Every structure is written in structure tokens, then in C-alpha cells.
């Protein structure tokens, strides 16, 4: 079995599933890409770490890293080991002292932790052969700009005062960000707008 090293190159709204995001992993030193659909919470957790933001209270993945650091457990790398019925399976390869051990993990959580530990991301080559795509060099700049925009959207707690211009998905994402930032006044305003939409639907 051959492992291919990947890196996160883009984070954007999923075009195949509503209320979801896609993280695009790129082959290090290569042109292959592996898109993976993830949830909004995990997308936010990855975006916050990529943008080096420090929430007022630790997110779940920050807490996990603190626990690992406290008990001297180091995340050596994550390994996307299996693709079954469209679901990616991953393992956290950890080290404590001289002992190595693997922990089963959702791929989205593994990626959120990999960013925080600044550790390598590997995939079984058969998976990238099955689900990967070749990158179009002409799209590299566009992907980079789109990634920056999506990360800014995911990490910014500010939203327009004209909530009617926002989709339900955008409102849900901003609500989660407001709650994570403990901005309960903003969260209440967003909930009010969501409540109006439910009544009118």
C-alpha cells in the first residue's frame, strides 16, 4: 500500500450537497486533487485554524489538542485509509513516548486536528485513483481566491443587518459562529430572522 501526502488547498461550499462544504486536498508535488464533503461545523473548525484565529473560548478541536498536549500525546499524521459507499475513513496516528497507536476518526475531524498539530495528511493511493481528479492549472488562482473568500466568510462573526438578503444556510452558519464567539445578542437577532422565515413558509 502506497501513501500519498496531501495538503489543504481549498475550502468552499459544496456544489453537490446543500448545507455542506467541500475541502479540497491537493497532492504534495503533484497535480491530483481529492475533494471531500464535510459539515458546516467542521468547515468552520478548519477555517478558524487555517486563518490562525483564536476564539474567546476553545472550539472542540482546540480542546482535543490541549488534552493531547497536556498528556504528551502527539499527532504524527492522519491517514485517509478507506473509501466505502462514498464515505472516507481516517485514522489518527499518535505517539506517546515510544509507543505509536491509531485512533479511528471522521475525516473532517482528522483534518481539523491536522491543521492544529501542523502534521502531514496522507491518503491511500487507491483512494485518490478512485475519487481524485486532475487539477486544471488555469484554475489555480481562482481556487486560491475562492478559498480565501470562503475562509473569511466562515470565520467572520459580522453579518449584514439586512438579513433578508442571506440564505437559510448562511444564517445557520453565522448563527453557529456567533454562538461559538459567545455573541448571544447577535445570535438572538439571527434566530429572530430564522423564526420569521419558518412562520412565512
- Read off the DSSP letter of residue 28: T
Q: pLDDT tens, 121-147?
A: 999 999 999 998 887 665 554 444 444
User: Residue written as cell 438572538?
Assistant: 188
For the record, the C-alpha cell of 11 comes out as 475550502
The whole-angstrom separation of Cα 2 and Cα 40 is 31
Instruction: Say which residue, 10 or 97, is predicted with more confidence.
Output: 97
**Rg of the Cα trace of the chain?**
18
Q: pLDDT tens, 156-191?
A: 444 444 556 777 777 777 777 766 665 656 666 777
Reduced to 3 states (helix: H, G, I; strand: E, B; else coil), residue 153 is helix
Reduced to 3 states (helix: H, G, I; strand: E, B; else coil), residue 17 is coil
Domains recognised in the chain with CATH numbers: 3-138+145-153 (3.10.690.10), 157-200 (no CATH)
The whole-angstrom separation of Cα 17 and Cα 25 is 18
pLDDT at 124: 93
Amino acid at each position: 500500500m502506497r501513501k500519498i501526502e496531501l495538503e489543504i488547498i481549498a475550502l468552499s461550499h459544496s456544489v453537490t450537497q446543500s448545507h455542506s462544504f467541500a475541502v479540497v486536498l491537493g497532492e504534495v508535488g503533484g497535480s491530483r486533487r481529492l475533494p471531500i464533503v464535510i459539515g458546516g461545523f467542521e468547515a468552520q473548525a478548519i477555517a478558524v485554524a487555517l486563518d490562525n484565529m483564536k476564539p474567546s473560548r476553545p472550539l472542540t478541536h482546540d480542546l482535543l489538542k490541549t488534552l493531547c498536549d497536556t498528556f504528551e500525546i502527539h499527532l504524527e499524521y492522519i491517514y485517509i485509509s478507506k473509501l466505502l459507499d462514498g464515505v472516507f475513513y481516517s485514522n489518527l496516528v499518535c505517539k506517546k513516548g515510544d509507543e505509536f497507536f491509531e485512533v479511528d476518526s471522521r475525516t473532517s475531524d482528522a483534518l481539523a486536528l491536522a491543521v492544529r498539530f501542523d502534521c502531514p495528511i496522507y491518503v491511500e493511493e487507491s483512494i485518490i485513483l478512485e475519487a481524485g481528479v486532475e487539477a486544471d492549472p488555469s484554475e489555480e488562482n481562482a481556487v486560491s481566491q475562492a478559498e480565501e473568500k470562503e475562509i473569511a466568510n466562515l470565520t467572520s462573526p459580522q453579518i449584514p443587518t439586512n438579513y433578508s438578503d442571506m440564505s437559510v444556510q448562511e444564517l445557520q452558519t453565522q448563527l453557529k459562529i456567533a454562538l461559538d464567539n459567545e455573541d448571544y445578542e447577535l445570535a438572538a437577532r439571527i434566530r429572530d430572522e430564522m423564526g420569521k422565515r419558518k412562520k412565512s413558509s
